[in-house]
Amino acid sequence: MTSTYRPMPSPLATTLFLGISLLAACAADEGADAAGGMDAEGLAPGVEATSFLGDTLRSAELPPEVLEVYQARYDEAAADLAENPENVDALIWMGRRTAYLGEYREAIATYSHALTLHPGDARLYRHRGHRYLTVREPDNAIADFERGLELTEGEPDQVEPDGLPNAMDIPTSTLQFNIWYHLALAHYVQGEFEAAAEAQRGCLDVAVHPDSVVACSYWLYMTLMRLGQEDEAAEVLAGINEDMEIIESTAYLNLLLLFKGERTIEDVVGPAGADVSLQSTTTAYGLGVWHLLNGRTEAAHETWERLLEGRSQWAAFGYIAAEGELARSAIG
């Protein structure tokens, strides 16, 4: 069952977004390569995406206390953009705050408009690509990430500020890390494991924080095992231990330790159904892969099917990956 949620923007934010949407639409009509364009054709009003399994996906309802915080930050971003309508940082934050409210198509339109003004800013391709992945347009995401890599090649990396800061308020990733990381995911969720592994290796090369190393290692390990490259997969696991100073990638670390045999399924399983969380969705997908790698295909599919019952987490990478698994198994 889906729930519909639309943020309540201020009049200022509404005016800003209408202007941005019109500009993005005009740029798309003119065929501007940088702007790309929002492809929402065939989607009913209020629908953000169609899942890999053909289900309609709408913005999830946020808990009141979360909504209050997200709305306040959204309004701050709108006010900043009103004062600096062509500033790339203001445009990026407007897109990010819009996406946190579940308005992914609006966020894509904001980034597309920003690219008409700042076509050489790799950050815009990184963020728009992320939201293309969210709305199940992985090929558009890949095109954006590949352009982002072209723009950052040979350039010094830069720390990326967190839109939702962790408990220690310490950013754990960089621009180049996020481009590689999301590029790998866009390939992975489609079952393109060779391309995913290549991107994951690039991701690991630029990972500078333990959280980033763990996050990238998690996806790389699963990918290598599915490619039959067990020696390299074992090397990835060898660099993982429970003493790593992790801030926010706890679920990924626990799953890697499960793969190493240092955790049990009881240690890592999380809530499901109405109590599902981002962490438990992440864990459930990894548990499915753990079953799959141990020859329990039916258990893997059952785990992923239960995961998809937690519809409020449909934007999570584990949810998207589980959709991809079940969609490919239905075809093949």
| 1 & 130 share domain | yes
| 131 & 42 share domain | yes
In the predicted structure, residue 24 carries a pLDDT above the cut 80 = no
pLDDT (0 to 100) of residue 4: 37
pLDDT (0 to 100) of residue 19: 57
Instruction: State which H helix or E strand residue 57 sits in.
Output: strand 56-58
Q: DSSP per residue over 74-114, as a string?
A: HHHHHHHHHHSTT-HHHHHHHHHHHHHTT-HHHHHHHHHHH
Spatial separation of the C-alpha atoms in residues 76 and 16, rounded to whole Å: 13
Residues 51/57, Cβ–Cβ less than 8 Å: yes
pLDDT category, 31, cuts 50, 70, 90? very low
pLDDT (0 to 100) of residue 40: 46
In the predicted structure, residue 2 carries a pLDDT above the cut 50 = no
Which of 28-32, 234-238, 289-293 is predicted with the least confidence, judged by mean pLDDT? 28-32
Residues 223/197, Cβ–Cβ less than 8 Å: yes
pLDDT category, 27, cuts 50, 70, 90? very low
| 143 & 177 share domain | no
pLDDT (0 to 100) of residue 201: 98
Domain boundary among 102, 134, 155: 155
Spatial separation of the C-alpha atoms in residues 57 and 53, rounded to whole Å: 11
Mean pLDDT of 261-268: 93
pLDDT digits (tens, 9 = 90+) for 184-212: 999 999 999 999 999 999 999 999 999 99
In the predicted structure, residue 57 carries a pLDDT above the cut 50 = yes
Hey, what amino acid is at 104? Y
Domain boundary among 155, 177, 208: 155
In the predicted structure, residue 48 carries a pLDDT above the cut 70 = yes
Spatial separation of the C-alpha atoms in residues 150 and 136, rounded to whole Å: 23
| 317 & 332 share domain | yes
DSSP one-letter code for 230: H
Which range, 22-36, 78-92, 156-170, is most confident?
78-92
In a domain, 138, yes or no: yes
Q: DSSP per residue over 237-299, as a string?
A: HHT--TTS--SS-HHHHHHHHHHHTSS-HHHH----GGG--HHHHHHHHHHHHHHHHTT-HHH
Name the domain count of the chain: 3
pLDDT digits (tens, 9 = 90+) for 116-129: 999 999 999 999 99
| 128 & 178 share domain | no
Provide the 3-class DSSP secondary structure of residue 159: strand
In the predicted structure, residue 291 carries a pLDDT above the cut 50 = yes
Q: Which residues pair with 58 in a beta bridge?
A: 47
pLDDT category, 15, cuts 50, 70, 90? low
pLDDT (0 to 100) of residue 332: 56
pLDDT category, 5, cuts 50, 70, 90? very low
For the chain, counts of helices (H) and of strands (E): 15, 2
Spatial separation of the C-alpha atoms in residues 61 and 134, rounded to whole Å: 16
| 143 & 172 share domain | no
Q: Which residue has the higher pLDDT, 93 or 5?
A: 93
CA angle 270, 273, 274 (to 5 degrees): 105
| 70 & 134 share domain | yes
Give the domain extent around 57: 1-155
pLDDT digits (tens, 9 = 90+) for 204-251: 999 999 999 999 999 999 999 999 999 999 999 999 999 999 999 999
Q: Kindly report the average pLDDT of the chain as a whole number.
A: 89
Reading the block at residue 237, the tokens are 């696991």
pLDDT (0 to 100) of residue 331: 74
